[in-house]
Structure 1
Amino acid sequence: METIESMKRISRKNIISPKGFKAVGIHCGLKHKKNDLALLVSEVPASVAGVFTTNAIQAAPLSVTKQVVYETQKMQAVVINSGNANACTGKQGMKDALTMQQKTAEHLGIDQNLVGIASTGVIGEQMKMEPLLAGIEQLQPLDSLEGSIQFSQAILTTDTVTKNTAYATAIDDREVVVAGVAKGSGMIEPNMATMLGFITTDANIESEHLQQALKDITDVTFNSITVDGDTSTNDMVLVMANGMAGNNALTPSHPDWQSFLNALHAVARDLAKMIAKDGEGATKLIETKVTGAVSDEEARKIAKSVVGSPLVKTAVFGCDANWGRIIAAVGYSGATIDPDDIKIYIGTTLVVENGEPIPFSEDELLIYLKQHEVKFVVELNQGTGEGTAWGCDLTYDYVQINATYRT
């Protein structure tokens, strides 16, 4: 059986790679020029799963989409706008969200309860409904790469690149494809943040099992990234599984269950890393792997503490091998540690052993830290727990982008 690490991405790495999906993105006028309205459609109603922001302030689109995920448990389409979050917009915001759902359903000729919605952009501004509703009428989903590209562009805000990936695996001797697209660049501090993720698969699986799989995988992927420590109001990851691959229904007892989990995990991990790497103003992806923790949860907690530390992030930006900032972040993580048992590696260079400094070449680590991806390893020697987290450096551009976000 393929492991997550051995799985290979397929060349058709776009959201409509699984059978039976179409997508499109257009410019409707919520933003000045760029695509700002997207639609993803399945030929048939699909099983659906979702995870959502933990921010106590939640945007109207989340309430609408949660009802579809948790009550209908089927979804055939999801419509997304960028440029306006429809968050903190009161009763009018909820009315607008429901109208957005209703008009999309009418346009597609499907039940309103089969339509999910998502919004991303500025918080606290009422939605411009006239261009939005006119745009919905223009949405004609495509089963081509063009439609997939348009879709991935239309959901972006401050992102600098689109984020797409896909994997194939064999289930019941049939090819099953899992594909994903995401947006996210700032306010990335899961559990969930200014991040939207949409995953499609042609696997046959009921919503109950899909929800559990997504929840477990989210903990070690989307919930293991951070950019700036802020948690937003809007964000979600949705998975739609339309069953068109024709496999026998997947359950945890199915012999190929792990193969499906590995494909879903690989897609989620790719998207999470892409989001972290594209953090606002970022120049480098930071990965921290923690081993020897008392539990996997504690290991992830420490790893996120390190990649989320502003001092670590600025040291990486400045190519400074300041391991003191790493060990300090380990110490204030709140996890169980023994300072005398800690080892720290920057890349493959051991810089701390038994909590004490090890001589190293500053020049060699300067060269290493100039790379676009930087890895730290923290060995705790307290147990068997392991975890990995991803983040990015903190740059001058991050301040500039967020100081002028509304202007």
Structure 2
Amino acid sequence: MLKKIQVQQLRVGMHLKEFCGSWMEHPFWRNGFVIADPKDIESVLASSIKEVWIDCSKGLDVASGEPSISEAESEAEVNATLAKVVQERRNVSPTSSAQEIETAARICQQSKRAVISMFEEARMGKAVDTGDARKLVEEINDSVARNPGALISLARLKTADDYTYMHSVAVCAMMIALAKQLKLDEAQTRVAGLAGLMHDLGKAMIPMDVLNKPGKLSTAEFNIVKRHPEEGHRLLLTGTDVHPLVLDVCLHHHEKTDGSGYPKGLKDAEISLFAKMGAVCDVYDAITSNRPYKPGWDPAESLRRMAEWAKGHFDMQVFQAFVKSLGIYPIGSLVQLSSGRLGVVVEQTGKSLTMPCVKVFFSTKSNMRIMPEVIDLSGAGVKEKIVSREDPAKWQFHDLNELWSGLPD
């Protein structure tokens, strides 16, 4: 029997079925576990969560005489809450990157903790539970709906040590944005996001010294890494109610349209749309992120290089939709304007792929920093345009990420 209780009533031995509130408000990535450590209760009490559901058939009940709300008594309340949530999701309003950055930063941090927990549980041999991961996907989906660029760009700012975990979050967000660009329905979009989140689960079974090696992998080590799609597929099969497309993306996100990918060497028509989407998102995040063995490339330069590889590697329709979802000059790209000023892209305007909002901060004519100014290149009367991509390594602006995100490096 399910009962809703105050968090102050929690005690060791209770089966915590569900938190009453957003997953961002509590310190656990999943629900549905028996409280075995008093520290877990302390963590709940320290959060903003006020009430939880417990399952008395799987753990201890409240003490005799303590107040609680049964599942039957609360059915009307639950239905009303669900209706409110559905309506709120339908009424998501677009926001600017600057407005969404703070929320996106919180989602990134909580998501990273969730993915770390997923990987740790997989290493310990626990069955994979994608049910709780769906809540995380919902939050990421809502952020992308408000502003596609904010969370995707922030997720790129990962350290080499964070890469394995934040890569899953970044690919989840990009899969959602790409699904929206491809006009997939809401159910398919959520599946795409979940597939992105779970696509690299098999890396939980790769030795850490191989996964985080600072130099080039040997042939033997690379063969070990290449096992991760099949390992992830195997781990997902231990779960219940795992969507077939989540399994498919996990197994086939390293396939290439010319058949040179792995693990099955599938060719164009043999690869599903979702796996083709996963391939593009996976590669983009990999080459724009700092890795143990190399720094990440500039976002705009990365898209240019991917375009060169596209034939034989990616599905062209999917790749073109991916570029539209990010912009030709994604947020964080360093560009030079026709005035000779350098700036960093801070927002896509939606009017033109070549006319984003750029925060200018440096004059190449005087070779000095200038007062930062945001210019909407698509605005009426604006004559400036982007004349070139610039290599951040050449200019060595150490605060480039802070300039577009507003967050300290």
Give the TM bin, normalised by the shorter chain: under 0.3
Query: Could you say which structure has the larger radius of gyration?
Result: 2
Higher relative contact order (CA 8 A, sep 6+): 1
Q: Which has the higher helix share?
A: 2
More strand per residue: 1
Q: TM-score, normalised by structure 1?
A: 0.27
TM-score for both structures, normalised by structure 2: 0.27
